[in-house]
Each structure stands twice: as structure tokens, then as C-alpha cells.
Chains A and B, each alone.
Chain A
Amino acid sequence: MYRYDQFDRSFVAARVAEFRDQVARRLSGELTEDQFKPLRLMNGVYLQLHAYMLRIAIPYGVLSSRQLRKLAHIGRVYDRSSGHFTTRQNLQFNWVRLADIPDILAELAEVEMHAIQTSGNCIRNVTADHFAGAAADETVDPRPYAELLRQWSSLHPEFTFLPRKFKLAVTGAAVDRAAIQVHDIGLEVKRNERGEIGFAVYVGGGQGRTPMIAKKLRDFLPERDLLAYCEAILRVYNLEGRRDNKYKARIKILVHEKGLEEIAASVEAEFAAQPVATAALGEAEIARIAAYFAPPRFAALPARSAVLEDAQTEDAALCRFVSRNVSAHKAPGYGVVTVSLKPIGGIPGDATSDQMDALADIAERWSFDELRVSHAQNIVLPHVRLDDLPQVHAALAAAGLATPNDGLVTDIIACPGLDYCALANARSIPVAQEISQRFADLDRQNAIGELKLKISGCINACGHHHVGHIGILGVDRQGEEFYQITLGGAEGADCAIGELVGPGFAADKITDAVETLVETYLKLRRDPGERFLDAYRRVGLGPFQEALYADA
């Protein structure tokens, strides 16, 4: 993985020192809240309902064991022995004290991590496919490009005061596990017929109040033009993006209002105006960064593992786990393991410090010291030998981390909602917990098959409800929590925004409503291979509305 160079190291150290001084001045009263707030936000410090919250970036979701152990340690010392993984490949500590934050940042810097640009109107943490460098279906490893973008966007002097926040996502596989079409800029790394690397460039996607699917600006941008082209997009946005209305300030609104043609013309003109010699990425620079992401030394193994298959005959739980949570790896004899942070009835995305330590140990021993954080609020062990899966499964089970529900109805994405978030209208976590308990039976979950359920506590859509097969949005109806349901959203290559099914449901009716939707699907699906999303696309809202509102 990428290692800080001297510049990165001294820069982060200087930022920690600077923030330490700012916090001291705030606590002594020298700085007012109005003066301090923008400074703390630049360092990822929010004030939530019950405490300060620190958001730490996990660039493109890649973590080493050492880094995860440090997060476990910080959780133990400064929080309540846990941390919360979010949909943007960040980790949030919900219970930190302002006075401790400089020490936390200093500890993070020891393992080459920070919280810079995790808030504010700047370019946020660059996200990527959590199976990057591992998945069998990957064309090109997106991480070197994500790292180039991270370096380019870190404190880029031109882009520290954008009209609004700006999010980039990169995938190197056509299936798109990075949800690139709901990002401000989405990039798919690919190869042309000549084998050259380039990018499909999407712009203007996003969720929130006004969900939009991104539009494709280029089908194949040459590799060398990556940064220059992104810079051209940012320049156009920085100049033309609206600053008069916070709700219309994202690039998606600009793209929507101007239309694809006009935006494309502006971006291309800006791009053409750049001096090629200085703007283009050199081959040496790309190679230098790519070297950090060289594949680990995979052993030459047969594609099938007799050890695993023997163990599976003995152990049904292992079998379920393997069939559900292990995905195809590019190296024969290896698998990509998804570790669910969605135990039945748990808080989606939460991991205790002990669990983080256990994961770090497992990754060190069995996954080349590497972990990933997924936007689905799960953890990934990217490179596990199939022969080792029985041991890995046992170690995960011992840590309470072997829930075999990847992609199933209980693998719910939920934002913190009204239990923590100052912006929320309704709670998300208890809704997720109740649905999870209702569908706890694994046989039933497997019979239902892939079903992505996503819950947000307000229209900001941190819980990605717009792209849930079933999306749930919490609203405030005259002081009561109410939940609206959307159907048919999807986040991958077949990206779609879910459609509102009808009037919302009270908190004590929402789980029943989800169950009605699921039962309706089971009755109308053609065969078990027709997923909820496929069935919805075939039949539309009608049958679901009838079932939900039959008695209304």
C-alpha cells in the first residue's frame, strides 16, 4: 500500500501541531466558536447531539493491520471501545472529547492517517472498489489512480473553497462496486482494444435532497490526462457552480441545469487550454505510485482447495459463510472475504476495539496484512487462501464476525440517524435492528436472496437509501418519526434512483411494510434466480403498492 513520503509526513505532523494550538486557544477562550468551527471542521471534528465526533479518512478504503490496531487503540483510550465505519470509507468516533483530539490526531499520524478534508466544501476522501487489486472481475487496479487523485486533491490551493463538498469514486471493474455514478466525479479505469489504460469519466451524480445519476463525459480518457481532466471539471465547477443556495450548489445541479452538452463543452475547453507538458501524468510517476500497489506474492495454487471442501462437508456454518461471504479472487486458490459488520440486531458498521484487533490479527496472518473498508459498512479481507478459510472462519466466529449475510436483507446500510446525528429527522439504527431481527432466519434470508436495504435518517442520504433495492428515508411528521419507502434503486453499473412507493409508515409499522414487500416479491418472482431488483424492474411499483396499501 501507499506509504507516506517525507513531504506527507511533515505536512501531517505540521497540521496536527497547528490544530493542537487551535484547540488550546479555543479551550482557553482565545478563539470563539465562530472562529473555531471552520478550523475544527477542516480537521474532521463535528459537534453531534451528544459529543464531538471525529471522522477519519481511510483513503480508498485500504487499511493495514497496524492502522486498524491503532484505530482499535484510539477507540479504547478515547472513545467507548468502538468505532463506526461509514458509507464513505471513513471511520467515525462518536464520543471523543475536544481536548483529546490533538492527541488522537498525533496517534493517527504515527500510522499515516489523518482526518483532513473529511468535512467542508473541499474534495473529500477518494473512495474506490473495496475489492480493488483482488477481484476476479477487475480489469485494472484502481488504487494507484485513487492515490494520484488523493495527492492531487489534498489541499489543492484552487479547490479548498468550492461551492460545496466534492466526492470522487474510482472502480476498476465494470460491475462497479464503488457506486461511481452517484458521485460528483466517477471514474471507471479500463483498457481499450490496444490494451492501453484510460477512464470512463462520469460527472454530476449524487444522492441527498436531489438524487442524480451521473452523466458520462468521456468514454475513454487517456491515462495521462486523468488529473488535468479532473482539474478542468473542478475549475468549471468552481467558477460556475452556484454559491447562492446551499441546496443547489453541488455539481449535479450545474450539470442538470446546463445539460451535458454545455458542461462537456466547458470542460473540454478548459482541458484544452491547459499546457499539456505540465498537466499530463508522466509514465514514471504512474509507475512510481503503482509500485506501492504491486500485488502481494501469491502462491501458485490450484483453483480449488481440497482442504476447504473437506472442511465444508463437516461444517455447515463454514459452508454458508463460504457460499455467501467469499468472492472470486484473481489469483487461483485465493478468495476475497467480506466480513459483515451486520450481526443480527447489531448496529450496522459498528466494530468494537476488540473486533478491530481480531481483524488486524486475522489480516496479518491470513490476508497479507491488508484490509478494506467497504461503502456497505463491512470489512474486507482481500487476499485469503482458500486453504486457510476454515481457520479464518473460526477466528472470525470467535470474534463475533462470521455473520454469513453479505448482500442479504440483513446486510443493511444505515446512517447514524437521530441517535447521534444533529441533522437527523428520525432514527435509522433501531429500524435496521428491528428489520434485522425480523429476518434473522438464515434459511429465509437465503431464500430471499440478494436484497440491498438502505436507511437514511434524513434527506442527506448518508445511508444511500436512494440506491437501495428497498430504500427507507426517515422524516419528521409533526414531531413523529415517519418512514418513506423507495423501491428499485441500484448503485452499480445498472445504477438507478429508487421510486417512492407511496405514503410513509410510522416507526412501529415500517418492519411490517418491509416484510410485506419481501413476501410480495417472493410470490411474484419467476424463479429464485430473479432477484428482488430484477422482479421490481419487471413488474414496477404496482403490485408492491397494492400489497402495502391494500387496507388503506
Chain B
Amino acid sequence: MAARKIKFDWVAATANDLKGGEAVFRRADGSWTRTVAEAELVPGGEAGAALLARAQADHAANRVVEPVLIAVDPATRRPLSLRERIRADGPTV
């Protein structure tokens, strides 16, 4: 995750669910969802760092595994990178 992106783009927090391993995204209320469109979107930079800190607290609380921030298009609420779109949607095959 390039630092540049986190700074300027809109970001969401994603991780894998501890029990099932599914890709999950953090909602504004602190719950985690399989649906990226429901994720809390914040501008990168400080708000992003704060979101990541909240997500990392969920990792520390053993709810999710290895959270990171991903860049999301605020208009479509779709992840920008192919990798993250595949994580959000499942395999393309």
C-alpha cells in the first residue's frame, strides 16, 4: 500500500475474518462486513491513520487478522486495485 495513496485517496479498512478467513471491511459502527460498499470511507492521511488504528484494535482483540487500508473510489465504492476488487468480489474464475 503506497503511502501516497493513503494520503490523498479515500480509504477503507480491510482484513480477513479470524474464524472463516473471508475478506471483510470495517463499517463505521465498528462491525465488519463482507460487502465493501458498506465500509466506512475516510480520506487518507490522518483520518485514514485513525481508521487503521481502530482496525488494528480489532486485530488485537482477535476479531480480524492483519488489517490494512485500501484505496476505494468514493463514487462507486469499489476498491481501486484489481487485487482488492478480487478480494471484495471473490475469484474471477
The yes or no answer to B66 lying at the interface (CB within 8 A) is yes
Whose C-beta in chain B lies nearest to the C-beta of A28?
A: B62
A-B contact count (CB 8 A): 65
Partner of A50, one of B65, B80, B87: B87
Cα distance A420–B22 in the bound complex, in angstroms: 12
Partner of B90, one of A50, A99, A481: A50
Partner of B59, one of A33, A48, A347, A429: A33
Cα distance A29–B93 in the bound complex, in angstroms: 35
Whole-angstrom distance between the Cβ of A79 and the nearest chain B Cβ: 12
Q: Is A47's CB under 8 angstroms from B65's CB?
A: yes
Partner of B20, one of A48, A98, A430, A481: A98
Cα distance A32–B65 in the bound complex, in angstroms: 10
Contacts of B61 in A (CB 8 A): 29
Whose C-beta in chain B lies nearest to the C-beta of A97?
A: B20
Contacts of B50 in A (CB 8 A): none
Q: Is A50's CB under 8 angstroms from B23's CB?
A: yes
The yes or no answer to A419 lying at the interface (CB within 8 A) is yes
Interface size class of B (residues with CB under 8 A): 20 to 34
Whole-angstrom distance between the Cβ of A414 and the nearest chain B Cβ: 10
B-contact 0/1 string along A35-63, CB 8 Å cutoff: 00000000000011111100000000000
The yes or no answer to B18 lying at the interface (CB within 8 A) is yes
Cα distance A29–B59 in the bound complex, in angstroms: 10
Cα distance A420–B66 in the bound complex, in angstroms: 17
Cα distance A532–B20 in the bound complex, in angstroms: 45
Whole-angstrom distance between the Cβ of B21 and the nearest chain A Cβ: 4
Contacts of B81 in A (CB 8 A): 479
Interface size class of A (residues with CB under 8 A): 20 to 34
Cα distance A427–B59 in the bound complex, in angstroms: 29
Contacts of B16 in A (CB 8 A): 47, 51
Whose C-beta in chain A lies nearest to the C-beta of B23?
A: A50
Q: A50-B87, A418-B82 are in contact. Are A429 and B93 (CB under 8 A)?
A: yes
Contacts of A424 in B (CB 8 A): 83
Q: Is B86's CB under 8 angstroms from A419's CB?
A: yes
Contacts of A377 in B (CB 8 A): none
Residues of A within 8 A of B (CB): 26-27, 29, 32-33, 47-52, 96-99, 347, 418-420, 424, 427, 429-430, 433, 479, 481
Given A429-B91, A479-B81, output 14 extra A-B contacts at Cβ < 8 Å: A26-B18, A29-B61, A29-B62, A32-B60, A33-B59, A48-B21, A49-B86, A51-B21, A51-B22, A96-B21, A347-B93, A419-B92, A427-B86, A427-B93
